[in-house]
Structure 1
Amino acid sequence: MSGEMSFFGLFLQASFLVQLVMLLLLATSVVSWAFIFQRSKALNHARLEVRKFEDKFWSGGDLNRLFQEISARQHVSGMASLFVAGFKEFARLRKSGSASPQAVMDGTYRAMRVSLSREVDALESNLPFLATAGSISPYIGLFGTVWGIMNAFIALGEVQQATLAMVAPGIAEALIATAMGLFAAIPAVIAYNRFSHQVEKLENSYGNFMEEFSSILHRQSHSSDSATRE
């Protein structure tokens, strides 16, 4: 392309509104990519933490020792957070001595449900922005294109003899807005769908752990209650 028909040259020749649309789409793309890298790193870390915790939890070690080890950390997240919330509430209700085994389990499960909700909210952080960027960026680009083409035809109508060379730059700069809209939208949509699937899988893993851990605590609660009665 010649210097006049380069991307930067067409950007400078575009109307103020089309320039504003291009800058908005460029900023959206930059922010989207930043969130994509950040979410990818966070979800990879979450999956790694799940594997590490499950290895420790199902190794057959003492749950009290595991609870103390995890509670000593400065930051607890993921499946470990559910374990700490559930075990802490279970121990507190058992120590009170006034709650029935069913009440103990109900309180324990509620505590884990609250922790699960917080963890899922953290995993879904920034995903709404990607969904919004993926859905509206093409329309923003299309708006810039329509506006640019409209201006090009208005200018074309003011001359007596129209040539392709006169209208081509205006149409080209307008079409760039659509291209930028697609450039911002496509990665955002792909990333949103991929991350949503990963979050769903992690949420299922957390839910399965809650059920399994509840079953373990339920057996402990009833066995302890039976031993006390005897």
Structure 2
Amino acid sequence: MENVAIGAPADFSLIALFLRASLTVKIVMVLLVLASVWSWATIIQKLMVQVATRRDSGSFDRRFWSGEPLDDLYDRMTGKPKGAAERIFSAGMTEWRKSQRDDGELIPGAQSRIDRAMNVAINRESDRLTRGLPFLATVGSTAPFIGLFGTVWGIKTAFEGIALSQNTSLAVVAPGIAEALVATALGLLAAIPAVIFYNKLVTDADRITSQHEAFADEFSTILSRQIEDA
């Protein structure tokens, strides 16, 4: 920390406070800023993924329940399902067709294999929705403490400067304390959005996964009827 000359107006802008801070506090500030930027990038990306998943699932549900034959719906995908619901449906239909013999009979255990195939697809979609969220949880729980560490270190450095200058006037004390408190502010700035959006994204991901599981159960029921008829 650089000592501020007595009587000279102190610059309390964020850039000036950063430049006057000690190396340790600067490292802490940079880490917190990077964590905040990364958190917001993760938040925006996950929000976009969830919005796209809901949109694609809604579109597929309308086609699925439109009365169109499931085989025709599957054939129109041409092996490239677009959304999560389509991938789950495709996994079930792929296993359904693999379980059919050339004579039209079904290989025993087809129902259990279809259910497992859809469960695997659901787990993949769940992982896709929650990938990156542990980072938000880590930032939310650790950023305030990292910022507090920077503040404690900055205050220590400020008191060392005061002892060396042998001057306890407010003009000397205030800039050092302000520099130190910026680290705590940055820690809170990184942690608060991370905690809020982590809770929201996890809740929404669980809700979407539950909808996928409900669709898989309904689809499995439809196939079980056809298996019994066969």
The aligned counterpart of 1:213 is 219
Q: 2:134 aligns with which of 104, 115, 128?
A: 128
Q: 1:60 aligns with which of 56, 60, 67?
A: 67
- 1:29-48, aligned counterparts within 5 Å? 29-48=36-55
> Retained in 1: the 8 A contact 2:151–2:183?
yes
The aligned counterpart of 2:185 is 179
Q: Output one character per residue of 1:22-62: Cα deviation in whole Å (capped at 9) or x when no partner.
A: 01111111111111111111110001111111101011110
Give the Cα–Cα distance (whole angstroms) in 1 for the partners of residues 83 and 48 of structure 2: 15
For the pair 1:99 / 2:107, whether they are aligned, the reply is yes
- 1:77-226, aligned counterparts within 5 Å? 77-95=83-101, 97=105, 99-100=107-108, 103-224=109-230
Give the Cα–Cα distance (whole angstroms) in 2 for the partners of residues 33 and 159 of structure 1: 42
Structure 1 length-normalised TM: 0.91
Give the Cα–Cα distance (whole angstroms) in 2 for the partners of residues 77 and 142 of structure 1: 44
Q: How many residues align structurally?
A: 220
Higher helix share: 1
Give the Cα–Cα distance (whole angstroms) in 1 for the partners of residues 100 and 217 of structure 2: 19
Letter in 2 for 1:47: R
Letter in 2 for 1:202: I
Give the Cα–Cα distance (whole angstroms) in 1 for the partners of residues 54 and 111 of structure 2: 27
Instruction: Tell me how far 1:161 sits from its aligned partner.
Output: 3.8
Q: Output one character per residue of 1:192-211: Cα deviation in whole Å (capped at 9) or x when no partner.
A: 11111110111000000111
> Retained in 2: the 8 A contact 1:82–1:115?
yes
Give the Cα–Cα distance (whole angstroms) in 1 for the partners of residues 68 and 185 of structure 2: 57
Give the Cα–Cα distance (whole angstroms) in 2 for the partners of residues 135 and 161 of structure 1: 38
Q: Output one character per residue of 1:152-182: Cα deviation in whole Å (capped at 9) or x when no partner.
A: 1222233444112111111100000000011
Letter in 2 for 1:148: G
Letter in 2 for 1:209: F
Unmatched segments (≥5 aa) in structure 1: 225-230
Instruction: Tell me how far 1:3 sits from its aligned partner.
Output: 6.0
Give the Cα–Cα distance (whole angstroms) in 2 for the partners of residues 140 and 98 of structure 1: 61
> Retained in 2: the 8 A contact 1:71–1:84?
no
Instruction: Tell me how far 1:90 sits from its aligned partner.
Output: 1.3
Identity of aligned residues (%): 42
Structure 2 length-normalised TM: 0.91
